[in-house]
Amino acid sequence: MDYQFKDIEKKWQKFWAEHQTFKAEDKSIKPKYYVLDMFPYPSGAGLHVGHPLGYIASDIFARYKRLKGFNVLHPMGYDSFGLPAEQYAIQTGQHPAITTEANIATYRRQLDQIGFSFDWSREVRTSSPDYYKWTQWIFMQLFNSWYNKDADKAESIAKLAEHFEQNGSAGINAVCDDEILSFTADEWKAFDNNSQQAELLKYRLTYLRESTVNWCAALGTVLANDEVKDGFSERGGYPVEQKKMMQWSMRITAYADRLLKGLDTIDWPEPLKEMQRNWIGKSVGALVKFTIYDLRFTNDDLTNLQSLTSNHYIEVFTTRADTIFGTTFLVLAPEHELVASLTTAEQQGDIDAYIAQAKKKSELERMADAKTVSGAFTGSYAVNPVNGEKIQIWIADYVLAGYGTGAVMAVPSGDQRDYLFAKHYNLPIIPIIDIQNIETEADPTKDGRYINSGFINGLTYKEATAAVIAKLEETGAGKAKVNFRMRDAIFGRQRYWGEPVPVYFKDDLPHLIEEKDLPLVLPEVDKYLPTESGEPPLARAAGWTYNGQEYELSTMPGWAGSSWYWYRYMDAHNDKEFASKQAIEYWKDVDLYIGGSEHATGHLLYSRFWNKFLKDMNLVVEEEPFKKLINQGMIQGRSNFVYRLVDELGRGTNTFISYGLIKQYRTSPIHVDVNIVDNDILNLDKFKKFRPDYADADFILENGKYHCGHEVEKMSKSKFNVVNPDDLIARYGADTLRMYEMFLGPLEQSKPWNTNGIEGVFKFLRKFWRLFHNEAWEFSVSDDAPTKAELKSLHKIIHKVEEDVERFSFNTSVSSFMIAVNELTDLKCNKKAILQELVIILSPYAPHICEELWVLLGNEAGTLSYTPYPKFNPAYLVEDEFAYPISINGKTKLNLNMSLSLEADAIEAFVKDSADVQKYLDGKTPKKVIVVKGRIVNIVI
């Protein structure tokens, strides 16, 4: 029979499901291998052709690893809490759980027909109470922990309370809020319970904090920075305002250094690690106190550094302590708390006007305005702690209140912003390094020797930095300090469709509910909107209280459920623990994680954070959750256009001009559905049915065909460039789709989807099928011994695929399979000994056709997935002759067959004697002959 992909694929998908062929074992003498895909949010639109790209790659890898003798865990699930379902609920009143369920069913059907080897017995859904019970449980562990900097790990909050009880706040080195109290043990004991709880909250790893948030009134929610575009919500385009609000936060900053260091231990793409490094933004520098100049100082005081330990100082953060002698003024953020008290009476007007103006500017305007210099003088002065110089104190909006201390020491010779500011306001600029060139702009060099710099004159950058910091620490005017750009992560949103926070309030203080009351199930509400008073939707739930106390009304953010889900797959049905100790000790971590790079600073950072916390709690065994990570590239859409003729009045007509002729007419481009275009040729009949008003369209054609234009854009419905995998599977089958997606190009590269080449892959599979069949399409293989040429073809592909899979180069293996099948077809090979091995090698790529042939070859159904991968024997590839390319001056001219046993001098002699080479030499003696054995001969004339 000809290749009947429909029957074959249906048959084997059913077989795998019924026999649970891909169920991973929790105990095994085989080594473990955990292959994970970033689980999808099940959206209403279903999968488009770009989604399965990563899943196909990971599936090939998982299947390959099984053949290589590993116990493979390859699960799938759904990140099923999220905004679209809720948005739909608001519009229609339909419970998001129902929408989500329906969407999941669509996803499952689509995933199943691609033939993935997922262990579906382990499926997880973040919105299911059995799952989010454990998300809530982990939240409780975070609430019950604080970060001990001395131990460099999280510890139980009970231990902290114990310490307070015995020793007071002394001796605690914690990551905590800025405003903590200092107290003795007796004072602590004298606090009432609420005061103690309020103090402990400042240390917890998840805590309440008043923060400025992006509040979108129309959506009734707080948005992440990346969900806000130009002051409007990315989705819906509603206005967003800054609002202060009590918010749950996660103290991810406690882990900043470990998150940074861990990057060096994992095998991730370098650009992705770089993004995380930038996000964490570690800078090593110093905090320096500049005393506020007081008229009571005498000149003697000024030169005596010891006297400058007054409490009236401005603290700045700098990464270039070495440049401190070049400081000629200070700049504070307009929001800085000292601005009011520093402003003198005569400057009051200027300062007030500047602050008012700065407030009016939106974030966007401030950014766009980056080149305009603006600021105002406070009228006050500060004293440089290293040389006693009296310098002016300014405010300017180029200094950000939220970073460092909200104040900078301006070194115009070394920092371009300071330089522009100094030029604009006529402030002094002092060069501090001998090789510095500051005629037209600042020069931030670290080379050269210091000048105009007191005790560091003549030193190098390294020596100077150390000397300055030592001096500052000695005089108490400063200290070395590491600063991070990363902020604590806000953990909550004013939404319905998310995990409820397992917290209730008593006397305005948060308390955890009891563990036995988990999961705290999402209550029913009448509407999915905020209340009239602006409270989150959960406030609508009637009688929803914890023993009469009010629950937290916000829900957890989207990243909560995805920050630990890989552990749940290890033990998906455990109702006693989030995963059993044995399961975690066996599976440990994810060996290979495949997903998009858009999660670089969200999911992948939060997951590493939670993982490190769970490690501190001894709940998991590895410091890093994802050993190796691959980013699959984005599949872009390839849109097609038709060109509508425009009349003299600029109105569109019903005539369409073929792409090659549009220069001769006035036209406007219109998107046309890519599914009615084949190789950029428009199907005219289908076009006429595409929209009613096209029914009697006229065309101006080229050679009887309508050629469409094309452009690469995002794949989206509105651009009519969405290609649905279902259609392709119906036409060519899943095996063809799988191989074609891989054939498209390197996995990591972004590329536009173009269905044009898919025929080639389909033809290949048919040709492969044909190897096992005779002219009459009857299955027919021979038991004869294979020839040398056949064995060579086979072992070439065994080796090639092994190499390619190990380096995730799936596109090149597909080509190699084509070459192998072409060769074997030319050899008319139908030897079982060859073909059976080939079936095994191809099975990770095209599993259905291979299962079918495997059984036709006489093997037991279902054993293919666990059969050993063929062993490569290099002996079959050994050649005894090689057609050496002979080049003259580096240009290849001809090939000469020579035995590979010949040594360099013999080769040289043979080449020189060759009549063909003589022709090129034209009687001249070669200057030099380079012979690389087994590769090339190059003759230099």
- Span 786-845, contacts to RNA by CB under 7 A: 800, 803, 809, 811-812, 814-815, 818-819, 822
Which CB, 600 or 734, lies closer to RNA?
Answer: 600
Which CB, 531 or 809, lies closer to RNA?
Answer: 809
> In terms of Cα–Cα distance, which of 867, 874, 803, 808 is closest to 838?
867
- Contacts (CB under 7 A) with RNA, residues 199-228: 225-226
Stretch that binds RNA, among 276-284, 298-306, 582-590, 610-618 (CB under 7 A): 276-284
Per-residue binding string, RNA, 87-126, x by CB under 7 A, is: ----------------------------------------
Q: Would you call 352 helix, strand, or coil by DSSP?
A: helix
Stretch that binds RNA, among 43-51, 406-414, 427-435, 856-864 (CB under 7 A): 406-414
278: tokens are 């930038």
- 271 interacts with RNA by CB under 7 A: yes
Residue from 446, 588, 767, 792 in contact with RNA (CB under 7 A): 767
Q: CA-to-CA distance for 758 and 764, rounded, in angstroms? A: 10
- 889 interacts with RNA by CB under 7 A: yes
Stretch that binds RNA, among 58-66, 68-76, 186-194, 401-409 (CB under 7 A): 401-409
Q: CB-based contacts of 758: which residues, under 8 Å, 6+ apart?
A: 728, 732, 736, 737, 740
Q: CB-based contacts of 610: which residues, under 8 Å, 6+ apart?
A: 138, 563, 564
- Contacts (CB under 7 A) with RNA, residues 307-326: 317-320
Which CB, 671 or 799, lies closer to RNA?
Answer: 799
Are 325 and 450 spatial neighbours (Cβ–Cβ below 8 Å)?
yes
Which CB, 155 or 397, lies closer to RNA?
Answer: 397
Nearest-approach distance from CB 758 to RNA, in angstroms:
8
Which CB, 237 or 402, lies closer to RNA?
Answer: 402
- 928 interacts with RNA by CB under 7 A: yes
738: tokens are 């799988």
> In terms of Cα–Cα distance, which of 583, 450, 605, 530 is closest to 26?
583
Are 780 and 773 spatial neighbours (Cβ–Cβ below 8 Å)?
yes
Nearest-approach distance from CB 410 to RNA, in angstroms:
8
Are 126 and 570 spatial neighbours (Cβ–Cβ below 8 Å)?
no
Nearest 5°: the CA angle 878, 883, 889 is 130
Residue in the block written with tokens 């065309």: 699
SS (H, E, C) 362-425: CHHHHHHCCCCCCCEEEEEEEECCCCCCEEEEEECCCCCCCCCCCEEEECCCCCHHHHHHHHHH
- 757 interacts with RNA by CB under 7 A: yes
Residue from 156, 197, 574, 750 in contact with RNA (CB under 7 A): 750
Stretch that binds RNA, among 269-277, 519-527, 538-546, 578-586 (CB under 7 A): 269-277
Stretch that binds RNA, among 432-440, 555-563, 667-675, 762-770 (CB under 7 A): 762-770
Residue from 399, 422, 501, 797 in contact with RNA (CB under 7 A): 399
Residue from 281, 379, 523, 862 in contact with RNA (CB under 7 A): 281
Residue from 444, 669, 709, 885 in contact with RNA (CB under 7 A): 885
- 66 φ, ψ (degrees, to nearest 5): -65, -45
Nearest-approach distance from CB 743 to RNA, in angstroms:
6
Nearest-approach distance from CB 886 to RNA, in angstroms:
9
Q: CA-to-CA distance for 605 and 600, rounded, in angstroms? A: 7
- Contacts (CB under 7 A) with RNA, residues 893-922: 893, 895
- 881 interacts with RNA by CB under 7 A: no
- 861 interacts with RNA by CB under 7 A: no
Which CB, 397 or 735, lies closer to RNA?
Answer: 397
Are 484 and 282 spatial neighbours (Cβ–Cβ below 8 Å)?
yes
- 479 interacts with RNA by CB under 7 A: no
Are 615 and 589 spatial neighbours (Cβ–Cβ below 8 Å)?
no
Residue from 201, 409, 794, 853 in contact with RNA (CB under 7 A): 409
Q: Using CA atoms in the order 902, 903, 909, 912, what is the torsion angle rounded to 10 degrees?
A: 80
Stretch that binds RNA, among 228-236, 409-417, 781-789, 866-874 (CB under 7 A): 409-417
**Ranges of H-type helices in 563-661:** 565-568, 581-587, 603-616
- Contacts (CB under 7 A) with RNA, residues 224-263: 225-226
- 655 interacts with RNA by CB under 7 A: no
Which CB, 446 or 511, lies closer to RNA?
Answer: 446
Residue from 417, 423, 449, 688 in contact with RNA (CB under 7 A): 417
Which CB, 93 or 757, lies closer to RNA?
Answer: 757
Q: CA-to-CA distance for 269 and 594, rounded, in angstroms? A: 11
> In terms of Cα–Cα distance, which of 362, 591, 579, 321 is closest to 471?
321
Residue from 756, 774, 780, 918 in contact with RNA (CB under 7 A): 756
DSSP 887-933: EETTEEEEEEEEETT--HHHHHHHHHH-HHHHHHHTTPPPSEEEEET
- Contacts (CB under 7 A) with RNA, residues 678-707: 679
- 940 interacts with RNA by CB under 7 A: yes
- 274 interacts with RNA by CB under 7 A: yes
- 877 interacts with RNA by CB under 7 A: no
Residue from 56, 761, 781, 838 in contact with RNA (CB under 7 A): 761
Kindly state the number of chain residues that form the binding site for RNA, as judged by CB under 7 A.
81
Q: CA-to-CA distance for 881 and 885, rounded, in angstroms? A: 13
- Contacts (CB under 7 A) with RNA, residues 343-382: 366-367, 369-370
Residue from 4, 166, 278, 782 in contact with RNA (CB under 7 A): 278
**Terminal-to-terminal C-alpha distance of the chain:** 61
- Contacts (CB under 7 A) with RNA, residues 490-509: none
Q: Would you call 865 helix, strand, or coil by DSSP?
A: helix
Residue from 41, 139, 694, 764 in contact with RNA (CB under 7 A): 764
Residue from 270, 696, 860, 913 in contact with RNA (CB under 7 A): 270
- Contacts (CB under 7 A) with RNA, residues 565-624: 597-598, 600-601
From residue 172, alpha-carbon distances to 28, 166, 375, 810 in Å are 46, 12, 41, 54
830: tokens are 């139908």
- Contacts (CB under 7 A) with RNA, residues 323-342: 333
Q: CA-to-CA distance for 606 and 266, rounded, in angstroms? A: 16
Which CB, 221 or 755, lies closer to RNA?
Answer: 755
Which CB, 180 or 883, lies closer to RNA?
Answer: 883
SS (H, E, C) 277-323: HHHHCEEEEEEEEEEECCCCCCHHHHHCHHHCCCCCEEEEEECCHHH
Which CB, 19 or 462, lies closer to RNA?
Answer: 462
DSSP 818-841: HHHHHHHHHTT--BHHHHHHHHHH
- 425 interacts with RNA by CB under 7 A: no
SS (H, E, C) 654-687: EEEECHHHHHHCCEEEEEECHHHEECCEECHHHH
Residue from 42, 404, 519, 557 in contact with RNA (CB under 7 A): 404
How many Cβ atoms are within 10 Å of 324's Cβ, its own excluded? 30
Length of the chain: 941
> In terms of Cα–Cα distance, which of 560, 546, 619, 626 is closest to 593?
626
Nearest-approach distance from CB 482 to RNA, in angstroms:
11
